[in-house]
Amino acid sequence: MRIEITEKIAVYLCGQAEAGYEMAYKQERIGFLFGTKGKSAIKITKAVAYKGGTKKRTNVDVYADSFDKRGEILATQLRKKWIGAYHTHVEIDDDIPVGISEDDIDAFEEGESVVELIVSIWVTDNASRLKQGKKRLLAIKRFSDTNYRLSISGYVMTKRGPRLVRLIKV
């Protein structure tokens, strides 16, 4: 199984991470992913930010019912299948959370999402400064003219729980 996203989606997701990173008090961002699920690939064709919830440095508190209702409304409006969600992780005191956390796993398992994309952001020219999740890092790419480094990790829900997808095709 692989996850396919367009460069336009990657740029959008990275822009969301940058917006949260640039807040006076860094904030995570969260949103919806729309697309299709085939036998060998999940194709993400649209990403939309969720404007509700309380955004904090290490999480976003949302009311699950409100989040789900908004996802269903957007799916109807966009005439696309709601396939999952994304959220960002921001660098805090030189700690760069890359990949899925225990809290992320709990939220993912409680929802009906098929896919979860996590965009981690930090400022450095040295990718080796990653303190955790190094083996989970799927991609580092510059999508803008900033000093930011970003990684996109993708997870697919299976019967055994979230599974890291080794290939994200951009």
For the chain, give the number of residues: 170
- Structure confidence by residue, pLDDT tens digits, 73-83: 999 999 999 99
- Structure confidence by residue, pLDDT tens digits, 5-63: 888 898 899 889 888 888 888 888 889 999 998 888 889 999 999 987 777 667 676 77
- Structure confidence by residue, pLDDT tens digits, 37-49: 888 888 999 999 9
- pLDDT for 140 equals 46
- pLDDT for 130 equals 44
- pLDDT for 132 equals 43
Residue 140 burial class via C-beta count within 10 angstroms: exposed 0-12, middle 13-18, buried 19 and up: middle
Q: Would you say residue 119 has pLDDT above 80? A: yes
What one-letter code names the amino acid at 26? K
Q: Does domain 2-169 have CATH number 3.40.140.10?
A: yes
Q: What is the mean pLDDT of the chain?
A: 76
- pLDDT for 170 equals 62
CA atoms within 13 A on the CB side of 70: 18
Provide mean pLDDT across the span 97-118: 68
DSSP string, 103-166: HHHHHHHHS--SEEEEEEEEE-S-GGG--S-GGG---B---SSSSEEEEEEEEEEETTEEEE-S
User: Which residue carries 């299709």 as its tokens?
Assistant: 36
- The number of angstroms, rounded, from the C-alpha of 61 to the middle of its chain's C-alpha atoms is 15
- pLDDT for 83 equals 92
Per-residue confidence band for 112, with pLDDT thresholds at 50, 70 and 90: low
| Domain ranges for the chain | 2-169
Q: Would you say residue 164 has pLDDT above 80? A: no
- pLDDT for 129 equals 47
pTM: 0.79
